[in-house]
Chain A
Amino acid sequence: MDMPIPDAAIIARKAEIVAALQEVLPPDAVIHEDRETKAYECDALTAYRCPPLCAVLPASTEEVAAVLKLCHRMGVPVVPRGSGTSLAGGALPTADCVILGVARLNDVLEADYANRVVRVQTGRTNLSVTGAVEDDGFFYAPDPSSQLACAIAGNIGMNSGGAHCLKYGVTTNNLLGVTMVTMDGTVHEIGGAHLDAPGLDLLGVICGSEGQLGVVTEATLRILHKPEGARPVLIGYDSNEVAGECVSDIIKAGVLPVAIEFMDRPCIRATEAFAGAGYPDCEALLIVEVEGSDAEIDEQLAVITEIARRHNPVELRESKSAEESARIWLGRKSAFGAMGQINDYMCLDGTIPVSSLPHVLRRIKELSAQYGLDVGNVFHAGDGNMHPLILFNANQPGELEKCEAMGADILRLCVEVGGCLTGEHGVGIEKRDLMVDQYDPVDLEAQLRVKDVFDPKWLLNPAKVFPLASTQGRRAA
């Protein structure tokens, strides 16, 4: 992935820029020594690295506003950073940028159970939002698999999803309000604890804008009472087609499981070797989880297992206890680790219409043979959000490029069948150049114009999301 050539004039002014930042922030909030800025050289897309000019760690909305106002005046690009867990390179710096980290903004400002909202600073991690309310029986629903580490700021930036989206929606469906600072330093209050904001749905376009429209410092999030319980059923099939039909039939029957997870044979074998969860050796494995009281769970699982049986499963294992549930989830939860033990892997997250599932899995198998790289598939089948894991050896010259080329082919395939490039990770730099495969120039131009309004000088995270050629004129202006 290319990044723009850094602006030598900005790099030459480093001492002046650092001094100016030190005037508006406490001394320990400006990180500028080379050995320290190295910590910010990449996010979870570790194949690409570049230390920033410097990094700042403001501890309040006012400090964020002061930093942005200053960088705006001095013409310095700013790359916002949550916890740096982006798989898409959303927080990858350029050598001429200031990294604005929100890690010090991690307070819970208000937990309001009567109105079922929590207001937090956005550096707080996803899991610790739930942590702040779970003793009172509540939780925050979006649950990206990095939830132990990822920050709410990044969740909002990427509109993160998780395994339970089929029932609870993604970040944008659970975000009610934000405090956001635009590049010029203006502080905006949008939405709040009430359910809809007046005027245009700015909250809707801010969520998922990958830190290009503003820096969100506080968020009002919807919380829900935890369900009384949850239990999965494990279903194994001899073909992907039949597993796909089963998913479709479950949905058509009026049951809305909280999660429907799917694993293919390469993935099942890898996780068995790694975790020994006792999965059957079959072509396709489904884990379907439902929620409620014990009796309600039984009622829903009865419907699901009845449908599953109609399709002649090779295995059907209904959980009756917490231990059995944990065992069913064990393999799925260790899938990424299992694949990672075999080799380096690249994880994609294209989404497809559920009906195209068998076709897409077949084509991925063909691509795997063509490129000579193994692929395991594990994904959220209820919403069509795939996660092909392409195995490669990063130490072998040329393999990363080969893997990226294959990944691009898979994502083009997702678009071709009516899906999209990314369902929950975001575009970042990883899928930036594929945007032209999903959108016509006029579609992209409409999005660029939105950024023109929020950030006319194109200083906020400017080298992400859109193909560099399409933003060249705007970034240079």
Chain B
Amino acid sequence: MLLPKDEAELSAMVREAEGPLWIEGGGTRGAVAGEGVRLGTSGMSGITLYEPGALTLVAKAGTPLAEVEAALEAENQRLPFEPMDHRGLLGTDGVPTIGGVVAANVSGPRRIQAGACRDSLIGVRFVDGRGDVIKNGGRVMKNVTGYDLVKLMAGSQGTLGVLSEVSFKVLPRTAVQATLMLDGLDVAGAVAAMSAALGSPFEVSGAAYRDGRALIRIEGFANSVDYRVGRLRDLLAPFGAVEVEHDCQDLWRDIANAARFAGTDDEVWRISVKPSDAPEVAARLGDARLLLDWGGGLIWAGVAAGSDPRRALGGVRGHATLVRGAPESHARLGTFHPEPAPLAAIAAGLRAQFDPRGILNPGRMG
């Protein structure tokens, strides 16, 4: 495995590569390498700049996520988007890296309030398929200077370039957390309750559903949380009895990590729809094991091996990604949702521009 220790070495390795390179952060997100050479980013590690008073953190791409989170916690701050840890779900080990988080654009429950990984990302440095070192964005949170390649790199799965450094806008960690819980709801009832909460002024930072129970999270200063919990309790009364628990960090971590599917035999899909379409899609998924996040906008579905839950979308607009499946399922069904031909052509055009030799994770995204 190639392990560049800095950007210059990374650039040389990509420039000199004679065949496919399979890019790997911590190797925790289940990306499968094909023929060719593996290239790991863990040698490029370390936080290069952290200014708590400016809410800005810059780190080399191979920096362990845990190191970033620990540095932020020491200043009572955090990554706003609550990144998912795939290890439990996928049964992988290894050390998740901040670059891997960006390359996969993984976001957890707080995505509905604070945005996705791509929304917090304010700068990147990367090496494209030619071996050129390219920078875009920077370390300030408002920047419209030229095209936003920062967002383009987020979620590009290493197909446009190998990230060497990433910058984030971070947020204060909140003092207090409370979770309102409503039991005995079907999917339609839960989505309606979550929608009512999310459509209120009470700044909900998590809205999930599993096993008949809707979960609604509030964060902030103590008095403010008490106040909003009280108001939401009234607002949600028509949907059923409301229980309130404090400090449910483990619960929300489990939701972020889709932990309920860990150790099961299911193939696991991640389906993105408009929240109000969730009941219809859930009904069509039949006896699939479900977890809803993002107020119903994100459906995690555990299905029997080889079955294709994209059929359940019917005419509903949205898309599905196979997150955990047998190699033959990935091969037969594809990992990502097929794109309309004109958009697929643009995406292929971009990959050809950034990686003209087609050596970076070839075929991973199409």
Residues of A within 8 A of B (CB): 112-117, 137-138, 158-159, 161, 165-166, 169-170, 172-173, 182, 186, 188-190, 192-205, 207-209, 225-228, 247-249, 251-256, 292-293, 295-296, 299-300, 303, 351-355, 380, 383-385, 418-427, 431, 435, 438-440, 442-444, 446-447, 449-454, 465-466
Contact = CB atoms under 8 A, between A and B. Distances in A.
Interface in B111-152: 111-112, 115-116, 118-119, 128, 132-136, 138-152
B366 interface: yes
Contact of A173 (B119, B140, B340): B119
Contacts of B92: none
Given A194-B272, A251-B53, A442-B132, A454 B145 contact: no
A115 B278 CA distance: 11
Nearest to A177: B317
B249 interface: no
6 contacts: A114-B192, A198-B319, A296-B223, A299-B224, A354-B53, A420-B140
A179 to B, nearest CB: 12
A196 B321 CA distance: 12
B82 to A, nearest CB: 14
Contacts of A427: 144-146
A104 B289 CA distance: 48
Contacts of B160: 200
B242 interface: no
Given A225-B199, A355-B53, A198 B140 contact: no
Contact of B154 (A204, A351, A418): A204
Interface in B188-202: 192, 195, 198-201
A370 B111 CA distance: 48
B265 interface: no
A296 to B, nearest CB: 4
Given A114-B276, A384-B142, A296 B227 contact: yes
B147 A209 contact: yes
Contacts of A169: 115, 119
A255 B343 contact: no
A254 B143 contact: no
Contact of B105 (A166, A201, A254): A201
Q: Which of A201, A228, A249, A424 counts the most chain B CB atoms within 10 A?
A: A201
A202 B347 contact: yes
A67 B138 CA distance: 37
A200 to B, nearest CB: 5
Contact of A194 (B151, B220, B318, B343): B318
A303 B224 CA distance: 13
B138 A195 contact: no
B145 A435 contact: yes
Contacts of B149: 205, 446-447, 450
B51 to A, nearest CB: 6
B144 A208 contact: yes
Contact of B172 (A251, A431, A438, A454): A251
Contacts of B175: 254
B44 to A, nearest CB: 19
Nearest to B231: A293
B201 A226 contact: yes
B53 A116 contact: no
B366 to A, nearest CB: 7
Interface in B322-366: 336-337, 339-340, 342-344, 346-347, 349-350, 353-354, 365-366
A466 B276 CA distance: 43
B274 A194 contact: yes
B342 A115 contact: no
B255 to A, nearest CB: 15
Range class of the B interface residue count? 35 or more
B142 A165 contact: yes
A421 B142 CA distance: 10
Given A196-B105, A251-B53, 11 more contacts: A161-B142, A195-B298, A199-B336, A199-B365, A202-B347, A207-B151, A209-B147, A384-B140, A440-B135, A443-B134, A465-B146
B54 interface: yes
A442 B318 CA distance: 36
A352 B136 CA distance: 16
Contacts of A202: 152, 343, 346-347
Interface in B1-26: none
B177 interface: no
B335 to A, nearest CB: 10
A200 B365 contact: yes
A300 B131 CA distance: 49
A299 B220 CA distance: 11
A200 B135 CA distance: 18
B135 A439 contact: yes
Given A194-B297, A199-B339, A424 B53 contact: no
Closest 6 CB pairs of A and B: A204-B151, A248-B53, A423-B142, A453-B349, A254-B172, A193-B274
B145 A172 contact: no
B173 interface: yes
B276 A446 contact: no
A251 B152 contact: no
B54 A442 contact: no
B233 to A, nearest CB: 15
B175 to A, nearest CB: 7
B343 A199 contact: yes
Contacts of B354: 446, 449
Given A202-B343, A296-B223, A425 B144 contact: yes
Contact of A192 (B150, B192, B274): B274
Given A169-B119, A208-B147, A446-B134, A453 B346 contact: yes
Contacts of A256: 171-172
A195 B172 CA distance: 23
Nearest to A200: B347
A443 B123 CA distance: 13
B140 A383 contact: yes
A421 B317 CA distance: 38
Interface string B199-236: 11100000000000000000011011001000000000
B143 A420 contact: yes
A65 B337 CA distance: 27
Contacts of A189: 340
Q: Give the one of B128, B140, B336, B365 with max A CB within 10 A.
A: B140
A353 B51 contact: yes
Given A199-B366, A446-B128, A173 B142 contact: no
A384 B139 CA distance: 11
Nearest to B137: A420
Contacts of A300: 221, 224
Contact of A447 (B111, B112, B140, B146): B146
